[in-house]
Amino acid sequence: GKHFCSGGDLKDMTDAIEPTVPGEPDALYEVNRRFGDLLTAVNNAPQAVISVVQGAARGGGFGLVCAADIVIAQRDSTYAMPETGFGLPGAQIIPFVTKRLGSHYARRLVVTGDVVTGNEMHRAGLISHLCNNQDHAETTLHAVLDQIRGRSPTAIAQSKALIAKVSSTPLSLLLDEGGQ
Tell me 52's DSSP state.
E
For the stretch 97-106, pLDDT in tens is 999 999 999 9
For the stretch 54-63, pLDDT in tens is 999 999 999 9
What phi, psi does 102 have (nearest 5°)? Answer: 95, 160
Residues 35-55: what's their mean pLDDT?
95
What gap in Å lies between CA 172 and CA 83, rounded to an integer? 40
Indicate the pTM of the whole model: 0.86
Q: Which residues, other chains included, contact 141 with Cβ-Cβ below 8 Å and sequence gap of 6+?
A: 50, 52, 72
pLDDT tops 80 at residue 19: no
Pick 28 or 95 by higher pLDDT.
Answer: 95
pLDDT given for residue 3 in this prediction: 73
For the stretch 113-159, pLDDT in tens is 999 999 999 999 999 999 999 999 999 999 999 999 999 999 999 99
Q: Terminus-to-terminus CA distance in the chain, angstroms?
A: 45
Pick 90 or 153 by higher pLDDT.
Answer: 153
pLDDT given for residue 177 in this prediction: 76
